[in-house]
Amino acid sequence: MKHWISALALQLFVLPALAQGPDFKTGPVFDEYGPVADIDADFTIPEGMNFKVRFDVREGGEAGARNRRFETAARFINMHARAGVPEEKMKLAIVVHGKAVHDLAKAAHYQDAVGDENANAPMLAALMDKGVRFIVCGQSAAYYDVTNDDLLPGVEMALSAMTAHAVLDTEGYVLNPF
């Protein structure tokens, strides 16, 4: 029993802290977001590789804090840019549903829904400036009373998350499970 509790504590507290340790740095694309570690990798990225990757986010961030799932896009771009992949070879899309739709909202809606300031807005603007697409599930938006006018500039409204994933799949975007 003691070993099980120790393993759980390691997974819940120690490993996440290590992921933000001194060997993790931001840049070269995003200097304020997406810390990554440089790796001496044996698995090589093929020359001329084009990344078209989509992420699925349903968990909302902590009130007033950046949604860590959104920051994954900055991490993806920073780590691959550090590995020599040109920015123009990386196309990312984030499909957002569930309570995470509030994290895509303008200040007034976010304040009403979450009760704090939306710390995601600057990071989302930086990501969208680099071509990252944020697509909100219209069904979740309707459920949580989020309208197109409530969304931050650049966020796309889809009929549903299922629709967005199906369309992105036909466009060649692979689903990243992280």
Per-residue pLDDT, averaged over 126-154, amounts to: 97
| Residue 5 falls in which region: left (phi positive, over 0), alpha (psi -120 to 50) or beta | alpha
Spatial neighbors of 54 by CB under 8 A, at least 6 apart, are 92, 93, 94, 95, 165, 168, 169, 173, 174, 175, 176
pLDDT tens digits, 87-128: 999 999 999 999 999 999 999 999 999 999 999 999 999 999
Per-residue pLDDT, averaged over 148-170, amounts to: 98
Question: One-letter amino acid identity for 77?
Answer: I
Q: How many of the other CB atoms lie within 10 Å of CB of 110?
A: 24
pLDDT at 177: 86
How high is the mean pLDDT of the chain? 90
Higher pLDDT pick, 3 / 80: 80
Which single residue is written with the structure tokens 């099980």?
Answer: 4
What pTM was estimated for this model as a whole? 0.85
Q: What is the band of 21 on the pLDDT scale with cuts at 50, 70, 90? A: low
Look at residue 12 and tell me whether its pLDDT is greater than 70: no
Share above pLDDT 90 across residues of the chain, in percent, rounded to a whole number: 83
Q: H helices within 36-137, ranges in order? A: 68-82, 107-114, 120-129
Q: What is the band of 133 on the pLDDT scale with cuts at 50, 70, 90? A: very high
